[in-house]
Amino acid sequence: MRKIFIQTFGCQMNERDSERVLALALACGYREASSPEEADLIVVNTCTVRRKPEHKAYSLLGRFGRLKEKRPWLRIAVVGCLAQQEGERLLERFPQVDLVIGPDRIEEFPEALLKSEEGQRFCLVGFKEDPSQRVLLPPHLGVKAYVNIMQGCDNYCAYCIVPYVRGPEKSRPSEEILQEVRLLAERGVKEVTLLGQNVNSYGKKTPGELSFVQLLRKISEIPGIERIRFTTSHPKDLSEELIGAFKDIPQLCEHIHLPFQAGSDRVLKRMKRGYSREEYLRKIERLREVVPGIAITADVMVGFPGETEEDFQETLGLIEKVRFDNLFSFKYSTRKGTLASRWPDDVPPPEKQRRLEELQALQRKITLEKNKSLQGKLMEVLVEGFGERPGQLRGRTRCNRVVNFVGPRDLMGRIVWVRITEGLQNSLRGELPWEAKEAVCA
Ligand code: SAH
Ligand code: SF4
Ligand code: F3S
């Protein structure tokens, strides 16, 4: 039987797309390979949001190309955002590549595979107008799952390639989303994360469609769904209604990922983000007024064209003010075709590196302090897997922190109360409170 190996880069949307590719391949009779060396089909699911993941994809294509010298029947498919960006050029530059499939064409994977097995090499890119997506459940279903609710983005932030490689924003029909969530719940999924580049604008372009908050309410009515998360939110579209939803939808976890990108108005304006520093801070204040203790994470970048030391200090100042629970921070890299690519990439690489390190050191300190402040608290944890040490289980709090604690295996997939004993840099340690231990032993 033929075997498939999938290598994934990029965001959660790409991870979800890899699950869809795998589901389709398994339906075509493939089995999963445990390494690229034993695969008959290798799929590289690519990301092009920064230079680094793009280069990683190219170097993997080189490595997989060498495997093909030993296994000439091996087929290599490039899917994802680099596939959309480069299209036919990938076939021209890399003779080892058989198939190139853009993110909006994944459902055509089985037909494409069939043709490539007949020896054809080809490329399927571009965007469909139809916002529907087949319900394809992840082959390895655990206790939590991702659900796509929209594709693409209309924001065109000056630095960002996503609108070009994922196409215009379109919302998946709510009926389809609800059907998928119902099926997931029937199979034991307790937590869903709704995915989109800008989930706050769900349904806005489709007359008669539910709004994002209405969609959240409908999902919360599905029996078995105990936790709901979503990502990503755009600060300019974060409405009072959504902030209020945290209060009255009990399944909605107290965590929001709200990228701010920069702390200086001058930079935010040139990035075309559509909000000011003050407006961002005001939204954070509202979130904390309505949902005290809500965990807030974000994306930020350093070294955007024209970013001065003063601008950078404003970014640090914003981080100190908000005290994020965690941050994903990046060095700006020019993306071909974006507005910012017309401007000189004028912050020298060593300076970008220095700014990144300074920012990360500050955030590490804040993250550790915040994790330590949870010591002694009883927190609700969804048990997802085994911990790092023997006998340990691993789970997540509603505020999205990883907790390792000793407990019996039959707690797997269940929601339990855990007392936090130690806040570490990247996770928490905990223990089952004695009341729970008694209940477990009884
Ligand atoms: N839709 C999300 C972000 C998607 S991209 C949003 O609007 O926030 C994920 C993150 O990559 C971005 O938040 C940004 O911080 C970073 N990023 C995007 N383009 C980049 C670039 N050209 N250079 C460096 N980082 C970039
Ligand atoms: Fe990129 Fe901006 Fe769209 Fe996010 S909102 S995907 S950063 S263009
Ligand atoms: Fe990367 Fe595409 Fe996601 S460029 S971040 S994989 S949308």
Domain final residue, candidates 212, 233, 253: 253
Domain, as residue range, for 384: 378-441
Shared-domain flag, residues 97 and 152 = no
Structural domain count of the chain: 3
CA distances from 208 to 180, 194, 201, 203, 343 (A): 20, 20, 14, 8, 41
Mean per-residue pLDDT, 276-295: 97
| Predicted confidence (pLDDT) at residue 194 exceeds the cutoff of 80 | yes
| Lowest mean pLDDT, pick from 113-122, 183-192, 367-376 | 113-122
Res 118: pLDDT: 86
Q: How far apart are CA 163 and CA 103, in angstroms?
A: 12
Res 436: pLDDT: 62
| Predicted confidence (pLDDT) at residue 122 exceeds the cutoff of 60 | yes
Q: Calculate how far, in angstroms, residue 161's C-alpha sits from the geometric centre of ligand 3.
A: 8
Q: What is the position in ligand 3's atom list of the atom closest to the CA of 45?
A: 6
Q: What is the position in ligand 1's atom list of the atom closest to the CA of 338?
A: 22
Shared-domain flag, residues 247 and 162 = yes
The answer as to whether 238 is a domain residue is: yes
Residues 203-256: tens digit of each pLDDT: 999 999 999 999 999 999 999 999 999 999 999 999 999 999 999 999 999 999
Mean per-residue pLDDT, 355-382: 98
Full-model pTM: 0.96
The answer as to whether 315 is a domain residue is: no
Mean per-residue pLDDT, 94-111: 96
Q: How far apart are CA 83 and CA 127, in angstroms?
A: 12
Shared-domain flag, residues 76 and 95 = yes
* Residue 238 contacts residue 200 (beta carbons within 8 Å): yes
CATH number, position 405: 2.40.50.140
- pLDDT grade, residue 163 (50/70/90)? very high
- The string of DSSP letters for 373-396 reads TTTT-EEEEEEEEE-SSTTEEEEE
**How far is C-alpha 148 from the chain's CA centre?**
11
Q: How far apart are CA 210 and CA 206, in angstroms?
A: 9
Mutate to test the pocket of ligand 1, among 299, 302, 326, 356 (most ligand atoms within 8 A of CB): 299
Mean per-residue pLDDT, 421-433: 96
Residues 374-399: tens digit of each pLDDT: 999 999 999 999 998 899 999 999 99
Q: Calculate how far, in angstroms, residue 160's C-alpha sits from the geometric centre of ligand 1.
A: 6
Domain final residue, candidates 208, 227, 253: 253
Q: Residues 167-171: contacts with CB within 8 Å, 24+ apart?
A: 167/104, 167/127, 168/127, 169/197, 169/198, 169/201, 169/205, 170/129, 170/131, 170/205, 170/206, 171/131, 171/196, 171/202, 171/203, 171/204, 171/205, 171/206, 171/209
| Predicted confidence (pLDDT) at residue 435 exceeds the cutoff of 70 | no
Res 84: pLDDT: 98
Identity at 404, one-letter amino acid code: N
| Predicted confidence (pLDDT) at residue 404 exceeds the cutoff of 90 | yes
Shared-domain flag, residues 137 and 236 = yes
Res 273: pLDDT: 98
Mutate to test the pocket of ligand 3, among 51, 79, 165 (most ligand atoms within 8 A of CB): 165
Q: How far apart are CA 113 and CA 2, in angstroms?
A: 12
Burial class (CB in 10 A: 0-12, 13-18, 19+), 403: buried
Atom 1 of ligand 3, residue of closest alpha carbon: 47
Mutate to test the pocket of ligand 1, among 11, 14, 48, 49 (most ligand atoms within 8 A of CB): 49
Q: Calculate how far, in angstroms, residue 81's C-alpha sits from the geometric centre of ligand 1.
A: 14
Mean per-residue pLDDT, 53-64: 96
Length, in residues, of the chain: 442
Res 119: pLDDT: 85
CA distances from 395 to 249, 252, 303, 382, 427 (A): 22, 17, 36, 5, 10
Would the CB of 297 count as within 6 Å of ligand 1? no
Mean per-residue pLDDT, 176-204: 97
Shared-domain flag, residues 118 and 163 = no
Q: Calculate how far, in angstroms, residue 203's C-alpha sits from the geometric centre of ligand 3.
A: 21
Mean per-residue pLDDT, 270-284: 98
Shared-domain flag, residues 59 and 77 = yes
Mean per-residue pLDDT, 413-439: 89
Domain final residue, candidates 103, 124, 145: 124
| Predicted confidence (pLDDT) at residue 318 exceeds the cutoff of 90 | yes
Alpha helices in 87-145 (DSSP H): 88-93, 109-117
Percent of the chain residues past pLDDT 90, beyond the cut = 95
Reference 134, options 187, 96, 102, 172; nearest CA is 172
Shared-domain flag, residues 187 and 232 = yes
Measured N-to-C along each axis, helices 212-220 and 174-186 cross at an angle, to the nearest 10 degrees, of 30
Atom 7 of ligand 3, residue of closest alpha carbon: 162
* Residue 169 contacts residue 87 (beta carbons within 8 Å): no
Res 173: pLDDT: 98
Measured N-to-C along each axis, helices 240-248 and 277-290 cross at an angle, to the nearest 10 degrees, of 20
Q: Calculate how far, in angstroms, residue 56's C-alpha sits from the geometric centre of ligand 2.
A: 22
Q: Calculate how far, in angstroms, residue 150's C-alpha sits from the geometric centre of ligand 3.
A: 14
Mean per-residue pLDDT, 108-133: 92
CATH number, position 49: 3.40.50.12160
- pLDDT grade, residue 188 (50/70/90)? very high
**Mean residue pLDDT across the chain:** 96
Res 440: pLDDT: 58
* Residue 403 contacts residue 379 (beta carbons within 8 Å): yes
The answer as to whether 338 is a domain residue is: no
* Residue 43 contacts residue 18 (beta carbons within 8 Å): yes
Atom 2 of ligand 2, residue of closest alpha carbon: 157
| Predicted confidence (pLDDT) at residue 349 exceeds the cutoff of 90 | yes
Give the dihedral sign, CA 39/45/46/49. negative
**How far is C-alpha 73 from the chain's CA centre?**
34
Provide residues with CB under 6 Å of ligand 3. Answer: 10-11, 13-14, 47-49, 80-81, 161-162, 165-166
Mutate to test the pocket of ligand 1, among 194, 301, 336, 355 (most ligand atoms within 8 A of CB): 301
Q: What is the position in ligand 3's atom list of the atom closest to the CA of 103?
A: 2
- pLDDT grade, residue 137 (50/70/90)? very high
Percent of the chain residues past pLDDT 70, beyond the cut = 98
Shared-domain flag, residues 111 and 153 = no
Shared-domain flag, residues 9 and 117 = yes
- In sequence order, what E strands does 172-309 have? 191-195, 227-231, 255-257, 295-302
Provide residues with CB under 6 Å of ligand 2. Answer: 153, 155-157, 160, 162-163, 197-198, 234
Identity at 140, one-letter amino acid code: H
- pLDDT grade, residue 106 (50/70/90)? very high
Identity at 381, one-letter amino acid code: V
